[in-house]
Amino acid sequence: MMSFARIAVLGCLGLLLTGCAGSKKDRPIWERVKITDLLPSESNEQPGIERLKTINFDVYVFEIPAEKIGSLTDVWQMLYTKPLRFNDYEAFKANLFLAGFGQDEMFDKVNDLLRAAGAKKAETVLLLLTDGQPNDLPIAKLSGEQTVFYVSTKGSMEGVTIGPGALVLWIKADKIPGSRGVCSVKAQPVFGSPIRIPLPDSAAYEKSNEMVFTTVGFELKMSPGDFFLLGPGKYVSNQMTLSSLFFSNRNERKAVLRTFLFVCTNIDD
């Protein structure tokens, strides 16, 4: 037979348990533990480990029928070339490349003009560049050898046999010391082996026997909200040129040209 003392103890325990459950049930939902309470706070980060700082770009790839390339005139007239420093401006134009600079307040207008010209957004690429470290934006692949014509630094049309491999846009961003929220961006096309490792500078590419198209390289200063548009100046259908390799969508049955809109979205300081 259970003693009175034991009954009293069990009874008290029951009341305590019931009271705890009842108080938890009666608490408003916003006072209970939330998922965010379980996340580690910044103060819990291990000392000596810094968050990776990057310079971020959104790259919008637009496609337009080759026969409507003239419709992009209004877009190019709206953009600026003065902020761009070309390796060789005359050779850049002779290679049928066009580039223009714009700022945040112009973005919607440029986007509207592209769509009015018949351009359709085909792809969006998030490009993360660690300060001072280059990256490659894939452009085109060649499964075999191909002779590609381009205008050299001498100003003459030359042919180079390349392939198999990949054409990329080598791009590098460096924060400018003493200028918060500003970076220097360099870009130029490079053709290399099918399996590529981004190299730090042009000299390294040349030593690796990869083809660096320096005549269409350029650089500019950018802040978040700034953008530049890179596209073809003309469509050449009867010859494989650097421009047609770079801007033509070779997977399409009909001739489709691409333009690349690079928008700087963030600079970690």
- Mean pLDDT, range 240-246, rounded to an integer: 95
DSSP result, 185-243: EEEEEEEE-SS----SSHHHHHHTT-EE-GGG-EEEEE-TT-EEEEEES---SSS-BHH
For residues 229 and 75, the answer to whether their CB atoms sit within 8 Å is yes
- One-letter amino acid at 225 equals G
pLDDT at 32 over 70: no
DSSP 119: -
> Where on the phi/psi map is residue 220: left (φ > 0), alpha (ψ -120 to 50), or beta?
beta
| pLDDT of the residue at 249 | 82
Could you give the percent of the chain with pLDDT greater than 70? Answer: 74
| pLDDT of the residue at 169 | 96
165-175 and 135-142: which strand pairing? antiparallel
Choice between 52 and 22, residue whose per-residue pLDDT is larger: 52
| pLDDT of the residue at 252 | 61
| pLDDT of the residue at 250 | 65
Band of pLDDT at residue 33, cut at 50, 70 and 90: very low
Residue 118 CA to residue 66 CA, distance in Å, equals 10
| pLDDT of the residue at 199 | 53
pLDDT at 238 over 50: yes
| pLDDT of the residue at 39 | 44
Choice between 20 and 139, residue whose per-residue pLDDT is larger: 139
Choice between 129 and 252, residue whose per-residue pLDDT is larger: 129
- Mean pLDDT, range 49-57, rounded to an integer: 78
| pLDDT of the residue at 192 | 87
**pLDDT tens, residue by residue, 171-227:** 999 999 989 999 999 999 999 875 555 555 555 555 456 899 999 999 999 999 999
- Mean pLDDT, range 36-55, rounded to an integer: 57
**What is the chain's mean pLDDT, rounded?**
82
CA dihedral 255, 261, 262, 264 (to 10 degrees): -160
**pLDDT tens, residue by residue, 104-129:** 999 999 999 999 999 999 999 999 99
